[in-house]
Amino acid sequence: MTTPTLPDIGTSTQVYRIFIRATPQAIWDAITQPEWTQKWGYGLRDEYELRPGGAYRGHASTSMQQMGMTGVIVDGEVIESAPPRKLVITWRMAINPQLKAEGFTRLTYEIEEGRGGVSRLSVYHDCTGRPGHAEMIKGDKQGPGQSAGWTWILSDLKTAVESGAAMVR
């Protein structure tokens, strides 16, 4: 008798949900505005052309530059932009030659307004056929520079939006 196995969702689509005491517009701005994106996660200066076919680029943060990483760290293309509710982009780790060669993943942000000034942010990261990206973004470490993945990044986003400051820097 064989034991059935479940598909490894970690190597196909990773799903994260977080509740943030903020309006959908405030969360949208934190995700899409360069002055905000530098305040959370790894501090990349994210730049979006918020139209289908528009470019997405995440530029090295000051701390990354101090470690010798410069230029575009992640890149992609905007697939769908419906402010302040939904953003879909292609996404890849451009600075790493192996991951760059692996190709683009698909990243979706969905923002839903809830009750009492709390909104839900859902992040879907489809890494089908991109095992290196899937491993990197799932993260199991605890902090910047340690491949902490989406759990850490979204926790920092929540902290930045609610308090105006990152968890750590």
Give the mean model confidence (pLDDT) for residues 87-107: 96
Which pLDDT does position 143 carry in this prediction? 46
In a domain, 57, yes or no: yes
Quick one: which of 132, 166, 163 has its CA closest to 11? 132
User: Is residue 91 pLDDT above 80, yes or no?
Assistant: yes
Question: Residue 24 domain-assigned?
Answer: yes
Question: Number of structural domains, the chain?
Answer: 1
Quick one: average pLDDT of 76-101?
97
- What's the domain range around 100? 11-163
122, with CB counted inside 10 A (0-12, 13-18, 19+), is middle
Q: Is the pLDDT of residue 69 over 70?
A: yes
In a domain, 3, yes or no: no
pLDDT, one tens digit per residue, over 26-42 is 999 999 999 999 999 88
Amino acid in the structure at residue 10: G
Residue 72 lies in a domain: yes
Contact between 157 and 19 under an 8 Å Cβ cutoff? The reply is no
Residue type, 74: V
Asked if the structure places residue 107 within a domain, the reply is yes
Provide the 3-class DSSP secondary structure of residue 125: strand
Please indicate, yes or no, if residue 55 is contained in any of the structural domains.
yes
- Percentages helix, strand, coil for the chain, rounded to the nearest 5? 30, 30, 40
Instruction: Look over the chain and give the mean of its residue pLDDT values, rounded to a whole number.
Output: 88
CATH number at residue 87: 3.30.530.20
Q: What integer pLDDT is reported at residue 8 of this predicted model? A: 47
**pLDDT, position 136:** 85
State the pLDDT at residue 85: 98
Identify the CA nearest to 113 among candidates 26, 36, 29: 26
Residue 68 falls within a domain, yes or no?
yes
Instruction: Look at residue 2 and tell me if it is in a domain.
Output: no
- In percent, how much of the chain has pLDDT > 70? 86
Question: Amino acid identity of 80?
Answer: E
